[in-house]
Chain A
Amino acid sequence: MENILLQTEKLSKTFSSGGVLQHVLKNIDLKLYKGDFTVIMGASGAGKSTLLYALSGMDTPSLGTISFRNETISGFSPDELAVFRRKHCGFVFQQIYLIDGMSVMDNVLSAGLLVSKNKKELVKTAKELLSAVGIGEEAWNKFPTQLSGGEAQRVGIVRALINSPEILFADEPTGMLNSKTGLDVLDTLTDFNAKGQSVVMVTHDMRSARRGNRILYLKDGVILGECNLGIYKHGDRERHEKLSAFLTEMGW
């Protein structure tokens, strides 16, 4: 199917500690589609972040294959993987990791300049994106310490999107934020997804999970089930009930 962005076959990740093997991901067969807002849920230790890092080329699988647009990336060297990540992936983490000594604009441009040398074009894109996430011009020259948690995370999202990645990976993006700022960040992700941005988000927060149109539930390194919620609509009670029923069925 041409719509498939990422595909895994028998993806497994095993860690060894003191001679004891721990299989964190077990034979995962998964397809991620373009334009989807895929949410990976599960209890702590289920392997959510490990799966995200394997899918995004941040980590290499122990067994199995990962293909991005029919190209197998699981055999890539670390350098090839770095190029792949820069070109095709954007990352939003729970810890925002903005560089304190650089302004908001410079933080965003620093990621863009790794891929493109056209600074003028990058600045234009950065301004558009920053405005789109509600970061006004007055904040562009501020330093990260002068921003609120929600603002900093939105800058983080802009930095992740500056290279127009085909897929945006978010690992608990609202984990460090309070309820209000968390909602702002979720709204930002939802808006970008509505414009066609593919998003893969790891969360164990039900409020965040509601934003996805496809929910995968991971347990003991295996995808136990998935639920399709359709396009996100604000205040959709039925969506919430469907997700609750799914999570209850999964033993959440």
Chain B
Amino acid sequence: MKKQIFPVLLLVFFAVEAAAILIFTFHDPGGLQDAVCVNEAVQSVQKDWDTIETHKNRTDLDYVLLDMQENLLFKTKAGLSESINSAVTHMDTILDIKKDGAPVGKIIIYNSSRETFQMWKRAVCTVLLTVALLQCAVCIYWHIWLNHTIINPFKKLKGFAERIAGGNLDIPLTMDKGNLFGAFTESFDIMRAELKRARLAEEKANASKKELVAKLSHDIKTPVASIKAASEVGAAFTDNEKIRENYTQIIAKTDQINTLVTNLFTATLEELDELTITPEDTMGSELEYLLENADYLHRAKIPEIPDCLLYMDKLRLQQVFDNIFSNSYKYADTKIDISIWNGDSFCCVCIEDYGGGVNKEELPLLKEKFKRGSNTDHTEGAGLGLYISDYFMQKMHGGLTIENGKNGLKVTVMIAFGGTI
């Protein structure tokens, strides 16, 4: 309905203007003197001539009375012609006033046709001007409406298309569903949302794959090391040359697998940044569960956990503890002490074994990529576990310190308090 109202209104206004112009052109506004009125005025003047001072106008006409010497005797209002000359110029009606058949004076009856015409002209102009103004208002409003419903949505669509082309799928296309392009733009936005969803899903799948490869690469080494160790034992104890040869071949293949896995892990590690770490405020009591999970050989006694909120990603912190405990199992293979306390800025979890620790000079290097202590030569490992753990802790606004304790290697995991980030 709103779409048709503007042209309909404009047509109506055009019709009114045309009608006003036609009426103005062809209509006669009148202006002829009314003979009956004129006669009545003359008669009344003639009747009152002797007492002209008390004469009263009994008609709708305006007039002036002069004597034969053109002296003013009477006038109905100011601004009328008061001499014969000015009456002729003004095209007024001039008649004689007779008394007993002889002219005694003149009556000049005012010609109002010009005034009538002026009034008529003013009325038509007012109508035309009003309609023109209304037309302008309708045009302005129509322009605004067109801008709002067509031009601006088009501009928005243009910007939206540019953003989509540039790969920015985050900004939705908000449009009033009621406008001309409502359904159209909604479809566009659905398309954007679908594209975004697909892209996120793809990114997530890729990240998961990389994460899985990184984790598997690291974890695969342990069983491969066991196979190698078992094969070495088998080769040492067998008398059968053929079987020994088979064992040797297995050992060579495990070395090959180790190399390949290290290469695979290195490639994946470059994209460590893409691992998602989403820390959040978590009850401190969760630590107990994480530590119990990590210490699957039950080498440690878990102390009382301080009552506080901690800022952590449970999954990643579990991986950190898993790594520290598996390192201890591999390299020290002793009982483990755990102590937990609240520091100024962190909740500290200290895990210490009885393996004697590492050389002091090597301590700063342990958190670096592919660096291992010199006393770990006979144990399989990639030198990446502590590097990843340190990375995870930093991302959780915490930290990881490694030092030689009283009895062995002491790793302290510092977890940020909840509410401080």
Where the two chains meet, the residues of A that have a C-beta atom closer than 8 Å to any C-beta of B are 10, 12, 14, 21, 23, 26-28, 62-65, 220-222
A27 to B308 Cα, complex, angstroms: 6
Residues of A contacting B: mostly: strand
A23 to B309 Cα, complex, angstroms: 9
Chain B residues, Cβ within 8 Å of A21: 283
A65 interface neighbour in B281, B283, B307, B417, Cβ under 8 Å: B307
A26 interface neighbour in B306, B342, B419, Cβ under 8 Å: B419
**Are A10's CB and B309's CB within 8 A?**
yes
A64 to B418 Cα, complex, angstroms: 12
**Are B419's CB and A23's CB within 8 A?**
yes
B420 interface neighbour in A27, A62, A63, Cβ under 8 Å: A27
Chain B residues, Cβ within 8 Å of A220: 419
Indicate if B284 sits at the interface (CB-CB under 8 A). Answer: yes
**Are B308's CB and A222's CB within 8 A?**
no
The smallest C-beta distance from B54 to any residue of chain A, in angstroms, reads 80
Q: B418 — nearest CB in chain A belongs to which residue?
A: A26
Chain B residues, Cβ within 8 Å of A27: 308-309, 417-420
- A10-B417 contact in complex given A27-B309, A65-B307, C-beta closer than 8 Å: yes
Q: A64 — nearest CB in chain B belongs to which residue?
A: B307
A39 to B11 Cα, complex, angstroms: 70
Chain A residues, Cβ within 8 Å of B281: 23, 26
Q: B308 — nearest CB in chain A belongs to which residue?
A: A10
- A26-B307 contact in complex given A10-B417, A14-B283, A220-B419, C-beta closer than 8 Å: no
**Are A63's CB and B419's CB within 8 A?**
no
**Interface pairs (11), CB distance under 8 Å:** A12-B418, A14-B283, A14-B309, A23-B309, A26-B420, A28-B419, A62-B283, A63-B284, A63-B309, A64-B308, A222-B420
Q: B310 — nearest CB in chain A belongs to which residue?
A: A27
Chain B residues, Cβ within 8 Å of A28: 419
A23 to B419 Cα, complex, angstroms: 9
The smallest C-beta distance from B181 to any residue of chain A, in angstroms, reads 39
A10 to B347 Cα, complex, angstroms: 11
B238-272 CB mask vs A (1 if < 8 Å, else 0) is: 00000000000000000000000000000000000
A220 to B308 Cα, complex, angstroms: 16
**Are A23's CB and B418's CB within 8 A?**
yes
Chain A residues, Cβ within 8 Å of B283: 14, 21, 62-63
Chain A residues, Cβ within 8 Å of B308: 10, 12, 27, 63-64
Q: A25 — nearest CB in chain B belongs to which residue?
A: B419
Chain B residues, Cβ within 8 Å of A63: 283-284, 307-309
A27 to B311 Cα, complex, angstroms: 11
A248 to B342 Cα, complex, angstroms: 32
A12 to B419 Cα, complex, angstroms: 10
Where the two chains meet, the residues of B that have a C-beta atom closer than 8 Å to any C-beta of A are 281, 283-284, 306-309, 342, 417-420
A14 to B306 Cα, complex, angstroms: 16
Q: A10 — nearest CB in chain B belongs to which residue?
A: B308
A170 to B225 Cα, complex, angstroms: 67
A28 to B342 Cα, complex, angstroms: 13
A62 to B284 Cα, complex, angstroms: 11
The smallest C-beta distance from A54 to any residue of chain B, in angstroms, reads 13
Chain A residues, Cβ within 8 Å of B307: 10, 63-65
Chain A residues, Cβ within 8 Å of B418: 12, 23, 26-27
A21 to B308 Cα, complex, angstroms: 15
Chain B residues, Cβ within 8 Å of A23: 281, 309, 418-419
The smallest C-beta distance from A173 to any residue of chain B, in angstroms, reads 28
Q: A219 — nearest CB in chain B belongs to which residue?
A: B419
Chain B residues, Cβ within 8 Å of A14: 283, 309
The smallest C-beta distance from A43 to any residue of chain B, in angstroms, reads 16
A21 to B418 Cα, complex, angstroms: 13
Q: Which of B283, B418, B420 has the most CB of A within 10 A?
A: B418
9 closest A-B pairs by beta carbon, nearest first, are A26-B419, A10-B308, A222-B419, A63-B307, A23-B281, A12-B309, A27-B417, A26-B418, A27-B419
The smallest C-beta distance from A40 to any residue of chain B, in angstroms, reads 16
Q: A28 — nearest CB in chain B belongs to which residue?
A: B419
A118 to B86 Cα, complex, angstroms: 118
B419 interface neighbour in A62, A65, A221, Cβ under 8 Å: A221
Chain A residues, Cβ within 8 Å of B420: 26-27, 222
The smallest C-beta distance from A111 to any residue of chain B, in angstroms, reads 33
Given A23-B418, A26-B420, 6 new contacts (CB under 8 A): A10-B417, A12-B308, A26-B281, A27-B309, A27-B419, A63-B283
A192 to B178 Cα, complex, angstroms: 62
The smallest C-beta distance from A42 to any residue of chain B, in angstroms, reads 13
A12 to B310 Cα, complex, angstroms: 11
Chain A residues, Cβ within 8 Å of B284: 63
Chain B residues, Cβ within 8 Å of A64: 307-308
The smallest C-beta distance from B27 to any residue of chain A, in angstroms, reads 71
Chain B residues, Cβ within 8 Å of A12: 308-309, 418-419
Q: Which of A28, A63, A220, A222 has the most CB of B within 10 A?
A: A63
The smallest C-beta distance from A50 to any residue of chain B, in angstroms, reads 13
Q: B419 — nearest CB in chain A belongs to which residue?
A: A26
A107 to B184 Cα, complex, angstroms: 68
A26 to B310 Cα, complex, angstroms: 9
The smallest C-beta distance from B414 to any residue of chain A, in angstroms, reads 15
A27 to B346 Cα, complex, angstroms: 11
A27 to B417 Cα, complex, angstroms: 7
The smallest C-beta distance from B262 to any residue of chain A, in angstroms, reads 41
A221 to B417 Cα, complex, angstroms: 13
Q: A13 — nearest CB in chain B belongs to which residue?
A: B309
Chain A residues, Cβ within 8 Å of B309: 10, 12, 14, 23, 26-27, 63
Chain A residues, Cβ within 8 Å of B419: 12, 23, 26-28, 220-222
A26 to B309 Cα, complex, angstroms: 6
The smallest C-beta distance from B222 to any residue of chain A, in angstroms, reads 36
Chain B residues, Cβ within 8 Å of A222: 419-420
A10 to B307 Cα, complex, angstroms: 7
The smallest C-beta distance from B417 to any residue of chain A, in angstroms, reads 5
Q: B306 — nearest CB in chain A belongs to which residue?
A: A10
Chain B residues, Cβ within 8 Å of A62: 283
A14 to B308 Cα, complex, angstroms: 11
A222 to B420 Cα, complex, angstroms: 8
